[in-house]
Amino acid sequence: MKEPEPIVFIIDDDRMVREGLQSLVKSVGLRVEAFASAPEFLAAKRPDAPACLVLDVRMPGLSGLELQQKLGVENIQIPIIFITGHGDIPMSVRAMKEGAHEFLTKPIRGQDLLDAVQKAIASDRRQRKERAELNEIRARFDSLTPREKEVLELVVRGLLNKQIADELGMSELTVKTHRAHVMEKTKAESLAHLVRMAERLRTTPRK
């Protein structure tokens, strides 16, 4: 599976700053899309690719911090690099708490921004991979029948086939059949692998 080309989004209401940053990012060969406001960004179609967002804190209308919150609420996961003309500590603390990737003060040194962008894209790439794996596992587990799910539940809890049979009121042979199906459908290589996958699903909330 070939990975799609990464993309950098820039939102700044100041045209000259926006175009400068856009040109700078473009010069290192990255795909860039720039917006003058947060609503424009929300309305645009975003390709499914590793990305990061370079976001001005102070903008008329929807501010950068408000956009960050909105993205959080809508579960749109994208690393954010904040840029600001007057970075005060409480503001940056708030942004970082909300999960901002980086906080840069204007005027920004070109290399600082490019480094931050590369790091943010790498981070997004890792997270996308993680999410894709998780979705894959979830799809496999979702394909199990209700009976198989019951058997899975008890297997993961560490019960023996005989105990599972007693618990569910079926023969040990039936349990064995269900169990084989579970292993096959979830593509589990071993019991340990199965348990690990089940655990990972349980600790990550469904999207």
Partner 1 sequence: MRPVRDLYREMQAAHTAPSSLGPLSRYALAITLTSIALWLSLVLQAPFDNPFWFLFALAVIASTWYGGRGPGWAAVSISSVAALYFFIPPYHAWSLSRRDIPFFVTFVGCQAIANWLISWRRETEESLKRARDELEVRVGERTVELKNANEALLNQIEEQRRTEEALQVARAELARVARITTIGELTASIAHEVNQPLAAVVANADACVAWLSHQNPNLAEARAAAERTTQGATRASEVIVRIRSLINKATPEKARIQINEIIGETVALAEGQASRNGVSLVMELASDLPPVLGDGIQLQQVILNLLMNGIEAMTSVTDRPRRLVIQSRTAAPGEVGVSVQDSGIGVSPESMPRLFEPFFTTRSQGMGMGLPISRSIVEAHGGKLWAESTPGQGSTFQFTLPSADGMAA
Strand partners, 56: 83
- Residue 19 found at the interface with partner 1 (CB under 8 A): yes
Q: Which string of x and - marks every residue 60-89 that binds partner 1 (by CB under 8 A)?
A: -----------------------x-xx---
In angstroms, what is the minimal distance from the CB of 72 to partner 1?
A: 27
| Nearest residue to 50 (alpha-carbon basis) of 89, 11, 79 | 79
* Rounded distance between C-alpha atoms, residue 61 and residue 13, angstroms: 10
Output 54 or 165, the one with its CB closest to partner 1: 54
Q: Where are the beta strands (DSSP E) in 91-205?
A: 102-105
Q: Is the CB of 118 or the CB of 127 nearer to partner 1?
A: 118
Contacts of 55 (CB under 8 A, 6+ apart): 11, 12, 64, 67, 68, 80, 81, 82, 83
50: helix, strand or coil: coil
Cα–Cα distance measured from residue 28 to residue 116, given in angstroms and rounded to the nearest whole number: 13
Closest CB to partner 1 among residues 62, 114 = 114
For residues 103 to 132, the per-residue mask of contacts with partner 1, x marking binding by CB under 8 A and - elsewhere, is ---xxxxxx-x-------------------
Choose which of 20, 134, 144, 177 interacts with partner 1 (CB under 8 A): 20
Binding string, 21-40, against partner 1, x = CB under 8 A? Answer: x-xx-xxx------------
Nearest CA-CA partner of 5 in 37, 44, 33, 42:
33
Which residues sit at the interface with partner 1, rule CB under 8 A? 14, 16-17, 19-21, 23-24, 26-28, 83, 85-86, 106-111, 113
